[in-house]
């Protein structure tokens, strides 16, 4: 099947973010009020996976975690009996641990917050818990509380301390999810509870009381980072509400509730090592590894280079996200030397270029820049040049602002030559890059970025696909992420009034009659809401029909459009009336030439 191609002015490249000539804030006013500045400005955090599994380092009784697998799951991978794993935990004595050293490494790398595993899926508490003596203070010869020491070190260094807590999965507790090799009473299914009353007992006996301990004994926390979701929205909300009640300023990540349902957290959490292919218009964060594993592995030497880490960070930040980068300390409490070496190099780059990361907004450009990426802040565009142009010229297309000046961020006193107009604007560079990995070139402009919109270009006779990547959103409509399924994680929703709309600019090559097919999902209760699909003066009115459950997408034919001439046409979809719920989870509109068999 032949489809249209999506282009920006005079260029056809892979899409990473979409925007129109008038820039919409990527965040709703409500979100802007609720998300603290340390998170929105900081952009870069350290994740720490550390526990008894670190003692094993990916090996147990001749068994070894395979390359590419994750060592912190060793108890589950080899179905180590609880009593045997407890013996491992009893030897945990990380005398090399120094909280100030860890915090100093994070700070010198440019990280603004630290998230550490307070309890992973193995059920072992990495702090002094009164709820269970299965913790690092009471159960090991270490007899120290590393979380307390980290809280003090973070406060001294101005780093925000956050905790990871596995709220559903606990292989030590007989009623939690996960340990089917020891307990017949364990929950065996991620979708449905086998024993609801027993799972409730686990929540009341361990998970909720331990969460209360973390929220009351370790000072102000920045985030409670939950994992692996929850059975029901009510259970997830119970955890989120507890965090917000005891610490109103503390964030909850997007994995607190049911993965297949509406977001309960304060921001979106990507899949592990997830790199979204397009702009997300809500706050989001992606957790990523330095090698293949999260917990320490003796064998995993598949380290990412400093260049790859910097490229990933810039890619994420230029799409509006936060980069949460993991380290896995050893059983002795030492962050592995390769991790330290990589982070040290990243820190050197951040020392010079952090202005282009902290507090920035996503790229305003509707196309992927061929030599790198763009971030923006306070009348400045930061061009991250990873691939130095052979002709020493940065070509910028579709920028309509008045240009003030350009210079390398590493040397603001050096002025760079500018020429051309918005259709072919050029910055002349020297022969050699300013940095061996990523040279940041600053372009100062007047006002907020004014960039030409995305143009969807139809090839002769081809269908026209209008999806979230090529869309502009207005009002409360936002591009979003959901974790359900292995693909198709992205959609547009939150439309509740005619002012909340999705828009596309299309260059039509073939006039004629087109069938209009809409792909969307809608939960029960949203049915019968009316929507309008608009093309110039033509309008189609459709009625939402609910799907079986959340994010269960279906395709329906809404009607036909008679496109009478070639050229640029604007398409929109929006609610006909004001609603007390979202209109739908929108995925795409496809215009099919009527009578075609494509």
Please state the rounded mean pLDDT for residues 544-569. Answer: 93
344-358 confidence digits (pLDDT tens): 999 999 999 999 999
What is the spatial distance between Cα 94 and Cα 153, in angstroms, rounded to a whole number?
A: 17
Q: Please, what is the average pLDDT of the chain?
A: 92
67-124 confidence digits (pLDDT tens): 999 999 999 999 999 999 999 999 999 999 999 999 999 999 999 999 999 999 999 9
In CATH, 41-99+110-331 is 3.20.20.80: yes
The pLDDT assigned to 596 comes to 66
pTM: 0.93
What is the spatial distance between Cα 136 and Cα 86, in angstroms, rounded to a whole number?
A: 11
What is the spatial distance between Cα 129 and Cα 582, in angstroms, rounded to a whole number?
A: 42
Helix ranges, 61-158 (H): 74-77, 82-89, 99-109, 146-157
Residues present in the chain in total? 598
454-593: which CATH architecture?
A: Sandwich (2.60)
The pLDDT assigned to 30 comes to 36
Cβ atoms < 10 Å from Cβ of 42:
21
H-helix or E-strand spanning residue 45:
strand 44-48
The pLDDT assigned to 34 comes to 77
What is the spatial distance between Cα 490 and Cα 335, in angstroms, rounded to a whole number?
A: 36
Checking if the pLDDT of 26 tops 50, the result is no
The pLDDT assigned to 483 comes to 75
Please state the rounded mean pLDDT for residues 301-310. Answer: 98
Please state the domain extents for the chain.
41-99+110-331, 454-593
Strands 425-428 and 393-396: antiparallel
197-236 confidence digits (pLDDT tens): 999 999 999 999 999 999 999 999 999 999 999 999 999 9
User: With contact defined as beta carbons under 8 Å apart, do 218 and 126 qualify?
Assistant: no
Helix ranges, 91-195 (H): 99-109, 146-157
- Sorting pLDDT into bands at 50, 70 and 90, what band is 29? very low
Checking if the pLDDT of 316 tops 90, the result is yes
Coil, strand, or helix at residue 229?
coil
- Sorting pLDDT into bands at 50, 70 and 90, what band is 4? very low
The pLDDT assigned to 367 comes to 87
What percentage of the chain has pLDDT greater than the value 90?
Answer: 87
421-439 confidence digits (pLDDT tens): 767 889 999 999 999 999 9
CA 512 to chain centre: 41
- Sorting pLDDT into bands at 50, 70 and 90, what band is 489? confident
The pLDDT assigned to 6 comes to 40
Burial class of residue 95 in the structure, from the number of CB atoms within 10 Å of its CB (0-12 exposed, 13-18 middle, 19+ buried) = exposed
Checking if the pLDDT of 244 tops 90, the result is yes
- Sorting pLDDT into bands at 50, 70 and 90, what band is 487? low
Residue 287 has φ and ψ, to the nearest 5°, of: -85, 135
Q: How many H helices and E strands in the chain?
A: 12, 30
426-478 confidence digits (pLDDT tens): 999 999 999 999 999 999 999 999 999 999 999 999 999 999 889 999 999 99
Please state the rounded mean pLDDT for residues 288-300. Answer: 98
| b/e map 471-510, b = 16+ CB within 10 Å | bbbbbbbbbbbbbbeeeebbbbbbbbbeebbbbbbbebee
Strand partners, 474: 501
């Amino acid at each position: 099947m032949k489809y249209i191609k999506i282009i920006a002015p005079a260029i056809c490249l892979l899409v990473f973010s979409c925007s129109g000539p008038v820039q919409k804030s990527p965040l709703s006013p409500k979100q802007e009020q609720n998300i603290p500045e340390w998170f929105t400005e900081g952009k870069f955090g350290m994740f720490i996976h550390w526990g008894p599994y670190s003692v094993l380092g990916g090996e147990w009784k001749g068994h070894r975690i395979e390359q590419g697998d994750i060592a912190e799951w060793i108890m589950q991978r080899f179905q180590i009996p609880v009593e045997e794993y407890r013996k491992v935990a009893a030897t945990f004595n990380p005398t090399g641990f120094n909280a100030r050293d860890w915090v100093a490494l994070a700070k010198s790398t440019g990280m603004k917050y630290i998230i550490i595993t307070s309890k992973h899926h193995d059920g072992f508490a990495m702090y002094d818990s009164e709820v269970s003596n299965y913790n690092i203070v009471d159960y090991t010869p270490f007899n120290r509380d590393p979380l307390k020491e980290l809280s003090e070190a973070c406060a001294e260094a101005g780093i925000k301390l956050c905790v990871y807590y596995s709220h559903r999965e606990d292989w030590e507790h007989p009623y939690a999810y996960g340990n089917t090799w020891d307990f017949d009473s364990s929950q065996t299914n991620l979708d449905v509870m086998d024993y609801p009353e027993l799972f409730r007992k686990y929540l009341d006996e361990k998970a909720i009381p331990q969460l209360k301990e973390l929220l009351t004994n370790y000072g102000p926390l920045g985030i409670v980072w939950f994992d692996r979701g929850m059975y029901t929205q009510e259970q997830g909300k119970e955890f989120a509400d507890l965090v917000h009640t005891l610490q109103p300023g503390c964030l909850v990540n997007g994995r607190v509730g049911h993965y297949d349902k509406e977001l309960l957290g304060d921001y979106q959490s990507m899949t592990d090592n997830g790199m979204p292919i397009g702009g997300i218009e809500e706050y989001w964060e992606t957790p990523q590894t330095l090698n293949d594993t999260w917990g320490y592995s003796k064998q995993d030497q598949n380290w990412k280079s400093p260049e790859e880490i910097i490229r990933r960070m810039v890619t994420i930040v230029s799409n509006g996200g936060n980069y949460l980068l993991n380290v896995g300390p050893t059983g002795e409490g030492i962050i592995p030397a390769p991790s330290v070496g990589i982070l040290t190099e990243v820190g050197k780059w951040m020392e010079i270029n952090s202005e282009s990361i902290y507090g920035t907004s996503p790229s305003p450009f509707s196309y992927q820049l061929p030599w790198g990426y763009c971030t923006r802040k306070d009348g400045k565009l930061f061009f991250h040049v990873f691939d130095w142009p052979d002709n020493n010229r940065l070509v910028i297309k579709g920028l309509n602002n008045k240009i003030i000046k350009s210079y390398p961020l590493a040397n603001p006193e050096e002025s760079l030559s500018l020429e051309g107009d918005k259709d072919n604007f050029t910055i002349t560079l020297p022969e050699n890059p300013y940095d061996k990995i990523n040279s940041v070139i600053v372009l100062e402009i007047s006002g907020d970025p004014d960039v030409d919109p995305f143009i969807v270009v139809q090839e002769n006779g081809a269908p026209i696909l209008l999806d979230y990547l090529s869309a502009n959103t207005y009002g409360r409509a936002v591009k979003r992420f959901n974790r359900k399924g292995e693909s198709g994680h992205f959609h547009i929703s939150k439309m509740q009034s005619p002012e909340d709309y999705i828009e596309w600019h299309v260059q039509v090559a073939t006039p004629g009659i087109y069938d209009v097919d809409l792909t969307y999902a809608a939960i029960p209760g949203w049915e019968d809401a009316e929507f309008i699909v608009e093309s110039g003066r033509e309008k189609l009115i459709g009625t939402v029909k609910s799907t079986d459950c959340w994010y269960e997408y279906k395709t329906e034919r809404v009607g036909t459009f008679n496109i009478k001439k070639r050229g640029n046409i604007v398409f929109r979809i929006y609610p006909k009336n004001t609603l007390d719920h979202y209109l739908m989870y929108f995925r795409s509109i496809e215009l099919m030439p009527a009578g075609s068999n494509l």
